[in-house]
Amino acid sequence: MTLADVSPAANRTAAERLGSVSSGNALELRGVTKLFGALAAISDVTLTVRPGERRAVLGSNGAGKTTLFNCVTGDFLPTSGTIRLFGEDVTRFPAHERIRRGLRRTYQISLLFGGLSVADNVYLACRGVSRGRFSLLRPGSNDVLVARAAELVEAVRLTAARDVMVANLSYGQQRQLEIALALAGAPRFILFDEPAAGLSPTERSELVSILTNLPGHIGFIIIEHDMDVALRVATSVTMMHNGRIFKEGTPQEIVNDAEVQELYLGGGSHG
């Protein structure tokens, strides 16, 4: 199976129902600023991402990329500005309300359940956004969520490691599982926080194919230091510098931009 059919019909109709209130943009940030004391981690960030768009956010360490993610997921409230998710103002919403509206995120450092198997980790992620979280009854062999979890495990190419305890997975496999958890439920927009960090070249190309094979209706933002990965999966690029948006454009425009080369790509050193 491919990733194109991992979203069941029921979830799709729910997504369409929510989609009917949308103004056309998946994510819309207007003048978002986050201050830590006197330090502006991000300042006056205005950013629009269309549904299904894949955006890479690039920038050196401390450019404010992860802070941007934390504001979007609701881990931090922004000091000022508004955040709209599918047209709805979610600036003051708690994290789980945003998750229920189809937002997902992966973490830079894997936050997984080390004492449980791969299948159980994904099953929990599926269970978290549905009913029956407190059920004392074991899921039957024809349980919808068990089947859905198995699909997701396959989608991130972990079927062979399905019953392995997560603490015993390789680092690369943990990163793949991290993506499976983000795909649970009916995601419509995903934030990937440095998914390629620490991966081997083979695992990187695996990751690129997982990301490019995501169903077309799922948009995402990817923070990535590996330009090769970022520019292969993204359809548009935002460059950040010192907490501000510095440049936006297609991957080709960004690569060829003289200012970007000066600042980020190492001052035009062509090898």
Partner 1 sequence: MLFERVPPLWWAIGLLLLAMPLFASNFVLYQIFGWTFILGMIGLSLMFLAGYGGMVSLIQMTVAALAGYMVAILGTSGVPAISLGWPWWLHIPVAILIAALFGTLVGALAVRTEGIYTIMITLAIASAFFYFARQNYGLFNGYTGFNNVLPPQLFGIDWRQPAPFYYLTLACAALSYAAVVYVARSPFGLALQGVRDNPRRMGALGFSVTAHRILAYTFASVIAAVGGILLVWQNAQVSPGTAGIPQVIDILVIAVVGGIKRPIGPFIGALIYVLLRVFSPDMLLAVGLSGERFKLLIGFGFLVIVFFSPDGVLGLWEKFKARREQSRDPLRGGRP
Q: Which residues bind partner 1 (CB under 8 A)?
A: 95-96, 99-100, 105, 107, 111-116, 120-121, 123-125, 127-129, 132-139, 181, 184
Shortest reach from residue 223's CB to partner 1, in Å? 17
DSSP alpha helix (H) spans, 138-250 = 144-155, 171-183, 201-212, 227-233
Q: Of the two residues 17 and 138, which places its CB atom closer to partner 1 in the complex? A: 138
Shortest reach from residue 232's CB to partner 1, in Å? 28
Type of residue at 244: R
* CB atoms near residue 43 (< 10 Å): 19
- Rounded Cα distance, 96 and 114, in Å: 22
Q: Of the two residues 101 and 204, which places its CB atom closer to partner 1 in the complex? A: 101
Shortest reach from residue 34's CB to partner 1, in Å? 19
Q: Residue 52: how many CA atoms within 13 Å on its side-chain side?
A: 8
Q: Of the two residues 149 and 229, which places its CB atom closer to partner 1 in the complex? A: 149
Shortest reach from residue 64's CB to partner 1, in Å? 21
Q: Of the two residues 99 and 239, which places its CB atom closer to partner 1 in the complex? A: 99
Kindly provide the residue ranges of all beta strands, DSSP E only, lying in the chain, ordered along the sequence: 27-36, 39-49, 54-58, 80-85, 88-89, 103-105, 189-193, 219-223, 236-241, 244-249
Q: Of the two residues 66 and 121, which places its CB atom closer to partner 1 in the complex? A: 121
Q: Of the two residues 132 and 266, which places its CB atom closer to partner 1 in the complex? A: 132
Shortest reach from residue 132's CB to partner 1, in Å? 6
* CB atoms near residue 193 (< 10 Å): 21
Shortest reach from residue 112's CB to partner 1, in Å? 7
Q: CA 66 from chain center: how many Å?
A: 12
Rg, C-alpha atoms of the chain: 19
